[in-house]
Chain A
Amino acid sequence: MSNGLESMRFPKPKKPFSSLLKLEFRVNYSLSGMAEKIGLGSKNKSLVYIYFGLLALAFVPFMGVLFKFSNALSEAFVSIGQPGFVVVLAIMSGQITVIFLGFSQLMSTLYDSRDLKTLKALPIRPWQIMASKVLIAYFTELLGVLVIAGPFFVTLGTHLKSASYWVPAVLNLLLIPAIPVAISVLVISILMKFTAHSPKRDWFRVLSGVVVFAFIMVFNYLNVNMTQYGPERFVQLLMENNGLVSAVGRFYPVLRWRAWALTGGTLGQQILGFLLYTGVSVGALVLVIWFSQRWFFEGMTEGTVSVGKKERVSKEARKGELVWPSPKGTFGALFLKEHRLLVRNPTYLMTAFMNLMLLPLMFIFVYMGGGGEGFTALRAVVTPEILDIALLILVAVHAAITGMNQISSTAVSREGQTFWISKVMPVSPGIQVKAKLLYSVAFSCVQLVILVVSAVLLLELDVYRLLILSFLGLLVSVPVNAICLLYDLSFPKLEWTDPQQAMKGNFGTMVSWMFSLLYVGVMAAIVFGLIRLGIPYFLIYCISGALLALSAYGLVRWLDSVAAARYAEI
C-alpha cells in the first residue's frame, strides 16, 4: 500500500551544526518566519514583500538624512587628510547600536528561547547550540549596523575614489558587531553561571545590561576624546595624515587598526590593520563561545526559589491565614498586571530602560563632546521666541520617542500565548485596552519627566514654559500611544518562543512608530503654519493643546471599537 513516503523527497543530509544553523535561519528569516515576526501569520507570505517595501519607503527620508550627514562628514575629513576618522565614527556608532539594541536581544535569545531545552537533549555539542544562537543574533545586529554605519563607509569610499577600498570596507562593516557581541556573550554567560540560582536573577540580568552599556559608552568616550590633548597637540594631529586616527583607540586599538585597513598611508599599514582587526574580531567571538559554553549551559538550569519564602508561607498557613494583596478593582488590577509583566521580564525591562535612557544619553554625549559650552553660549543669546520654538520641538521629540519606546506598540503582542486569559476574563476589551493605554501613557510620563528636567538644566526653561511643556507632552502621549496600540491590536504578534520576538524582534513596532511619526508630522505642519501666520505663541499652545486633546479623544474612541472587534477575532 502506497503511503506517499516513497515519493517524499528529503533534503540532502547535513552535518548537525549546518542543519541547526539552517533551521535557525529558516525559523527567523524565511518568508513565513518573517511573516510571523511581523504578525501577518505564516500564511500571508506574499504580504511580507509589500510590508518591507513600505518599510523601506518609510525609511527613505531617514536614510537620506544619514547619507547627507555622512557625505558631508566624509568630504570634510577627507579634505583635511583625516579620512580614517570617518571609519572610527562609523565603527563607534555601529558598536553602540549593537550594544544598545542587541544586548537584551542576545540575552533573551540565549536564555529565554523555548527550544533550548529541546536542543540540549539532542546529540549536538553545546558550543554548536550556542554558536547557532549567537550567529542569528549577530546577523540581526548586522542589519542594524548596515543601516547606521553603512552610509559612512559608502560615502567615504566615493570620496577616496580607490578601487582597493571596497572589499576591505565590506569586511570591516561585516565585522563591526563581532567584539560587542563577544563582550555581550561573555558577560551574559558569566552572569548566568553565577546568578542562575538566585531569586533576583532577572534583576541581575537587567543590571548587567545597564552596566555593559554604560561601560561601552565611557570606553568609547575615552577612546575618542580629543579634548585631553589640548589645542596645540590637536592642531598637530590635524596636520598629520590620519593624525586623529593615531590618537584614538588608546584603550581600544582595534579602532585604529580598522581605520588603517581602509585608509592607511601604505599598503603594508593597510594589510597589517586588516589582519589585526580581523584576527581580533573573529578570534574574540570564537574564543568567547568556546570558553563560555560550559557556563552557558550551567546557567540554563532554572534554580529553585529561595527557601525563605516557603518558610514564611508555612508560618502563615499554620496560623490559618494568608496575607492577601489589597483589592484593586478591575482597572487597577489590569494596570498592575501590565506593570508586572513589563518590569519582571528582564528582556522587556531592559528594552524599556534603554528607551528611557535614549534622551539623557543624547544630552550626555553632546555635553561630553564639548556641547556643554555650546549650551552656555546658546543660553546667552536665546530669545523668548527661540525658547518657544525649542519648547514645541521638545514636544515633538517627546512624541517621537514615545512612539519608539515599544511599550504601547507591543502591549498586546507581549501577552503571547497567555492572551486567552484576556479573552476569557469578564472584562470588556475596551477596558482592557484602556488599561494598556493608561500604562503606556504613564511610561511616557517618566520619559517626559526626564525631558523636562533636561530642558530645565540645559535651556533654563522658566516655570511657565516648563508647565506648557509638561502639559503638551502629557497630551501628545495619549494619541501617539493610541496609534501604536491600534497597530498592535490590528496586527499582534502572539506566536513567539522567545519574549524578545514580541518586542525587539517585532517589526510591527517599526511600522507603528512610522504611523505615529506621520501624526507628529501633521501636527508639526499645523503648528509651523500657525507660526508662519504670526499667531501669538500662547494661542499656538492653546490650539495645539485643543488639537491634541481632540485627536486623543477620537483615537481612544476608535481604539475602543477596534478592541471589541479584534478581541473577538484574535
Chain B
Amino acid sequence: MLKISGVSKTYVGGVKAVDNLDLEVRPGEIFGFLGPNGAGKSTTIKMIVGILTPDEGSIEIDGLDVSREPIEAKKRLGYVPDEAQLWDKITGLEYLSFLCDVYGVPYEERSSRALELLETFEMLLAIKDPIGTYSRGMRQKIAVIGSLMHRPRIWILDEPMVGLDPRSSFLLKEMMRSHTEQGGSVFFSTHVLEVAERLCDRVGIIHKGKLLAVNTVEEMKHLFAQEGDKSLEEIFLLITEAQIPEEQLASLTR
C-alpha cells in the first residue's frame, strides 16, 4: 500500500535528513516509525504526503507514484501533521466542508460521517467555533477528523498523540486498529514507545536518516532474547546508540 524505494533527502548545508530509505507498509497493517529527534521521521512523512520532494528514489501509494500522479496519490491518504497549523478564522465545520469539497466526499455522506467522528472525539459543540478559539488538543482532534472524512486508504500520522487527552488518545488508537481491520493501513511516527509496542504490527527505527531496523516487535524481542527480557524502549536505545554489531542489526530488518 505504501512503498518507499531508495528515498533520500538532503537539506541546504549538506545535511542528509533521509538516506536511501526502503520500506513498505502492507494493507491491514499499523506501522510505527520510531526514531530520536532529528532522525528523519517528519522528513520522511512530509515526502510521503507531498510537502517535500525527495532528491532520489520514489514513493508509491497504492501503486501510484507520488511525484508522477500526485493528485490521485493524495486522494488515497489522510494526513495529520504534528502541531497542525490550521486557519484560525475558519470554523471547524467550514474546515471539514472545505476538505470534503476538495477530496470529493459525496454530499449525502458528509453529515453522517462528520457526526460520527465529531461525537467520537467530543467536538460537536465546538464545530461552529473558529479554529482560533480551540485549545491545542481540539486543533489536533479537528485535524484528525479532517484527515478521516474522505475515508483514506492509508492514514499518515506524525506524532498524533501529542496534545490529546487520554480518552481521545485511546479512541484514536481504537480507530487506527479498526481502520486496519477494514483493510486500510496506518503509518505513524511517535516518541511514545509503549504505544508503539502495544499497537503496531511492525515498527521501523530510523536514526540519522538511515533505517536501522524494521520488524515486528515480537521478532525484535526474540532476536534480543539472549540478552534478557527487553522492552521495545531498551531495544530502541541499543539500536540507536550503536551498541549492537552490524550482523545483528541486519537480522532486525524484515
Residues of A within 8 A of B (CB): 43, 202, 302, 304-305, 309-310, 312-314, 317, 320-322, 324-330, 332-334, 336-337, 340-341, 344-345, 416-418, 420-421, 423-428, 568-569
Contact = CB atoms under 8 A, between A and B. Distances in A.
A282 to B, nearest CB: 37
A424 B74 contact: yes
Contacts of B128: 309, 312-313
Given A322-B114, A324-B107, A426-B71, A344 B89 contact: yes
Shortest 10 CB-CB contacts between residues of A and residues of B: A333-B101, A344-B89, A426-B74, A417-B85, A426-B75, A325-B97, A305-B129, A426-B71, A423-B51, A324-B111
A425 B74 contact: yes
B127 A313 contact: yes
B193 interface: no
Contacts of B99: 425
Given A302-B133, A305-B133, A340 B49 contact: no
A426 B81 contact: no
B127 A322 contact: yes
Interface string B107-141: 10011001100110000111111101100000000
A328 B71 CA distance: 19
Main secondary structure of the interface of B (DSSP, over half): helix
Contacts of A424: 49-51, 74, 79
B93 interface: yes
Contacts of B132: 302
Nearest to A112: B88
Given A423-B50, A426-B72, A418 B85 contact: yes
A516 B103 CA distance: 35
Nearest to A345: B89
Contacts of A328: 101
A340 B89 contact: yes
Given A322-B115, A424-B74, A426-B71, A333 B125 contact: no
Contacts of A312: 128
B134 to A, nearest CB: 10
Contacts of A43: 12
Interface string B73-109: 0110001010001110110011001111111100100
Contacts of B90: 337, 340-341, 344
A324 B114 contact: yes
A404 B97 CA distance: 33
Contacts of A427: 71, 102
Do most interface residues of chain A lie in helix, strand or loop, or is the interface mixed?
A: helix
A341 B129 contact: no
Contacts of B216: none
Given A327-B101, A337-B90, A424-B74, 9 more contacts: A43-B12, A302-B133, A305-B130, A320-B115, A333-B102, A341-B89, A416-B85, A420-B85, A426-B102
B87 A418 contact: yes
Contacts of A341: 87, 89-90
Contacts of A337: 87, 90, 98
A317 B103 contact: no
Contacts of B93: 322, 324-325
Contact of B97 (A313, A320, A324, A568): A324
A313 B125 contact: yes
A103 B110 CA distance: 42
A425 B87 contact: no
Interface string B38-68: 0000000000011101000000000000000
Given A322-B127, A344-B90, A424-B49, A304 B74 contact: no
Given A304-B133, A424-B51, A426-B71, A325 B85 contact: no
A420 B81 contact: yes
Nearest to B79: A424
A383 B94 CA distance: 54
A417 B86 CA distance: 8
Contacts of B114: 322, 324
A322 B90 CA distance: 17
9 contacts: A310-B126, A314-B124, A324-B97, A327-B101, A333-B97, A334-B102, A345-B89, A416-B85, A423-B49
Contact of B110 (A324, A336, A428): A324
A333 B107 CA distance: 14
A17 B72 CA distance: 54
A330 B101 contact: yes
A563 to B, nearest CB: 13
A329 B94 contact: no
Contacts of B133: 302, 304-305
Nearest to A420: B51
A327 B71 contact: no
B4 to A, nearest CB: 17
Nearest to A425: B102
B74 to A, nearest CB: 4
A310 B122 CA distance: 13
Nearest to A327: B107
B132 to A, nearest CB: 8
Contacts of B74: 424-426
B179 to A, nearest CB: 18
A418 B70 CA distance: 19
A499 to B, nearest CB: 9
A314 B51 contact: no
A568 B49 CA distance: 11
Nearest to A43: B12
Contacts of A425: 74, 99, 102-103
A483 B181 CA distance: 51
B125 A310 contact: yes
Given A329-B101, A426-B102, A321 B111 contact: yes
Interface string B124-161: 11111110110000000000000000000000000000
B102 A568 contact: no
A58 to B, nearest CB: 29
Nearest to B106: A327
Nearest to B96: A324
A427 B104 CA distance: 11
B85 A314 contact: no
A49 to B, nearest CB: 21
Of B49, B51, B71, chain A has the most CB atoms within 10 Å of the CB of B51
B15 to A, nearest CB: 13
Contacts of A321: 111, 115
B96 to A, nearest CB: 9
Contacts of B103: 425-426
A569 B12 CA distance: 12
Nearest to B76: A426
Contacts of B126: 310
Q: Give the residue among A332, A425, A426 with the most B Cβ atoms within 10 A.
A: A426
Contacts of B49: 423-424
A19 to B, nearest CB: 28
Interface in B8-62: 12, 49-51, 53
Nearest to A331: B101
Contacts of B97: 324-325, 333
Contacts of B70: 426, 428
